[in-house]
Amino acid sequence: MIDLAEAIALVERTAQPLPPRRQRLMDAVGRRLAAGVVADCDSPPWDRAMMDGFAVRSADFAVPGEIVELDVAVDLAAGDVTGLEIRPGTCARIMTGAPIPAGADAVVPVERAVDGTAGVHAGGRVRLAEPKFRPGQHVARQAAAFARGREVLAAGTALGAAEVGLAAEAGATHVVAEPRVRVAIVSTGSELVACDAVPAFGQTRNSNGPMLTAAVSLLGAEPIPLGLAGDKPEAIRALVAQGLAADVLVLSGGVSAGDLDLVPAIFARCGVEQVFHKVRLKPGKPVWFGVRPRSDGGPPTLVFGLPGNPASSLVCFELFVRPAIMILAAAGRDRWHLPRERAELGAAAKAAADRPVYLPCRMAYGPQGLVATPQPWTGSSDLLGLAGAAGLVALPADGRVHEPGEEVEILRRDAP
Ligand code: AMP
Ligand code: MG
């Protein structure tokens, strides 16, 4: 059994940022690029009409203010192309987004058509009154925004919505970006049934599976829920072996001292080397952590055995798995852990003598600042007390009753 601070330090020392990965553009949303994106096309890719109207030759509009009468040679909707060249005295009826045909170099908006000619199509004659004609008007020129071969997104850029749109336009179906950490999740326990089942007497719904899946998603990592392993060593071994292909394997149950708590032995048989087992902590004492080196020399899989009781499982996730995922994801140190703050205790809370205690609490602002009030909570199997708790009060191992108004340390769970 080791101290909490030592256990956290061991996780921090063991986890190393994963190297960047080539991945599908949509899998990299929100992550930073590790290599720039180079455009495979010009933008716009050709001279593009920016208004609905008529594609004309500027030379036909040499006299300012004059009404110009032109033959409509062709109709061009967005997506239409023509080999036809616009000759002097003619024009094309054109829609926004269509390529400007050869010979034309400007667009006169449809609103400028006079004498009832706004609706004329190919074969007709349009009369255009454009009082302030500018050569090249309403045309977005080819490569005006960027040219093929240009780096449009630099390494280090975070992929927000606009950046994803730009990468898509530039032809980047895949990008090299910070990796999305893959986290396999396995639930042990023969008593467990899937959460969409009605449990018989003696059975328990698997709440850890969905809960840990959610916790992983909320960190921006990719959960890989592998389901229920029961308590049969072979079944657990098969799912552990599968989970070891991920960057992190999080297994719940089977790590405390009961007869069926076979998980540490199975980890050992699967080549996972123990870093620690059991931490002075309440709830969460049985937590197990180890590393499985990879035969190809790639980054090792980090393996966590969390206690089966759901509240213990989640507290251990927040304290140990969260920093591991954040470090693998190359997040800044300030994002590794839940934010720590000082707060005034809103109600009495009893500390344990032998290990720090974490208690779910509500958070509010009082006249003196932040107030943390422990929620009614029956302990490590009680998720009701943890649901909606904006923080965890961290009481030191002093065995005292901490009185309302005392200053305590809290971990914020409500930070964005
Ligand atoms: P264990 O750590 O396997 O000894 O389990 C401790 C307690 O947590 C037992 O009451 C289990 O039924 C319960 N438990 C274990 N795994 C889960 C799970 N995935 N979902 C809900 N409860 C669980
Ligand atoms: Mg069990």
Q: What is the pTM of this model?
A: 0.84
pLDDT at site 122: 98
CA 40 to centroid of chain Cα atoms = 26
189 alpha carbon – ligand 2 mean position (Å):
4
DSSP secondary structure code for residue 146 in this structure? B
E-state strands within 253-389: 273-277, 279-280, 288-292, 301-306, 340-345, 349-350, 357-366, 369-374
pLDDT (tens, 9 = 90+) of the chain, 416 residues, equals: 999 999 999 999 999 999 999 999 999 999 999 999 999 999 999 999 999 999 999 999 999 889 999 999 999 999 999 999 999 999 999 999 999 999 999 999 999 999 999 999 999 999 999 999 999 999 999 999 999 999 999 999 999 999 999 999 999 999 999 999 999 999 999 999 999 999 999 999 999 999 999 999 999 999 999 999 999 999 999 999 999 999 999 999 999 887 667 999 999 999 999 999 999 999 999 999 999 999 899 999 999 999 999 999 999 999 999 999 999 999 999 999 999 999 999 999 999 999 999 999 999 999 999 999 999 999 999 999 999 899 999 999 999 999 999 999 999 998 65
Is 375 close to ligand 1, i.e. is its CB under 6 Å away? no
pLDDT at site 269: 96
pLDDT at site 307: 97
pLDDT at site 173: 97
307 alpha carbon – ligand 1 mean position (Å):
7
DSSP secondary structure code for residue 86 in this structure? P
Residue 153: C-alpha distances to residues 40, 41, 141, 229 (Å): 13, 14, 21, 44
pLDDT at site 416: 55
- Residue-range domains of the chain with CATH: 4-19+179-335 (3.40.980.10), 22-40+149-177 (3.90.105.10), 48-140 (2.170.190.11), 340-412 (2.40.340.10)
pLDDT at site 414: 85
pLDDT at site 258: 79
Mutation test of ligand 1: which of 381, 383, 386 has the most ligand atoms closer than 8 Å to its C-beta? 381
How many C-beta neighbours within 10 Å does residue 184 have? 24
The protein residue with its alpha carbon nearest to ligand 1, atom 3, reads 253
